[in-house]
Amino acid sequence: MLINLSDVLSEQHKPIDVTVDFEMEQFQAKSETFPIIEKLPVHVVISHIKGKELRIHAETKVTVVIPCDRCLSDVKQEFSLDFTKYVDLAVSDAELKEGFDESNFIDGYHLDVDKMLYNEILVGWPTKVLCSEDCKGICSVCGQNLNEGACACEDTGLDPRMSVVRDLFKNFKEV
């Protein structure tokens, strides 16, 4: 969703107070894609400071499904976004003044809400995602989700790649 900034940048510097949709259906990070399953409308307030300086406040909640780091089951991660940005459209991101934010989500007279929120979600992305603190993970041999019950594999504690070697030896014996 694009917000037209001409009102706030015009002579009258009329503040903008709108509620818009976050249109992104999935979150693309590096090579992975995460579904966005819930999102509240985005409340955006933009006011003029001076020159081409703007104050942007945005508020919304977005829920993204991220697989558990240990067992890969779906974990709903809620991002409560409530932030304020200070941008100066007269300067490029390379010559930012102190206290000002990058404005790569503004192109000419348009603010790209999806792009702005994407940056915020990325910044707040958790380093670790677990379905529960004591998630048991998956069996490294058969892939069974150990939260759903134990599997029949021997608990050898060996590297799963070792099972290939073990099988090789077994085959040799049979020959």
Alpha carbon distance 67, 129 (integer Å): 7
User: By C-beta, is 116 or 135 nearer to Zn ion?
Assistant: 135
**What SS3 state is found at 58?**
strand
Of positions 47, 59, 153, 163, contacts Zn ion by CB under 5 A: 153
Nearer residue to Zn ion within complex by CB, 96 or 153: 153
CA distance 2 to 21: 10
Residue 135 as a binder of Zn ion (CB under 5 A): the answer is yes
Question: Binders of Zn ion: how many residues, by CB under 5 A?
Answer: 11
> 2, 29, 139, 146: which one contacts Zn ion (CB under 5 A)?
139
Closest separation between CB of residue 74 and Zn ion, Å?
A: 10
The answer to the question of residue 70 lying near Zn ion (CB under 5 A) is: yes
Asked whether 35 and 67 are in contact (CB, 8 A), the reply is: no
Asked if 150 touches Zn ion (CB under 5 A), the answer is no
Under the criterion CB under 5 A, does residue 68 sit at the interface with Zn ion? yes
Contact with Zn ion (CB under 5 A): which of 71, 87, 111, 113? Answer: 71
Integer Cα distance of 97 and 49 in angstroms:
14
Q: String of b and e for 31-68 (b: at least 16 CB within 10 Å)?
A: eeebebeebeebebebebeeeebbebebbbebebebeb
Rounded Cα distance, 83 and 101, in Å = 12
Q: Closest distance between Zn ion and the C-beta of residue 78, in Å?
A: 17
Where on the chain is the footprint of Zn ion (CB under 5 A)? 68, 70-71, 131, 135, 139, 141-142, 144, 151, 153
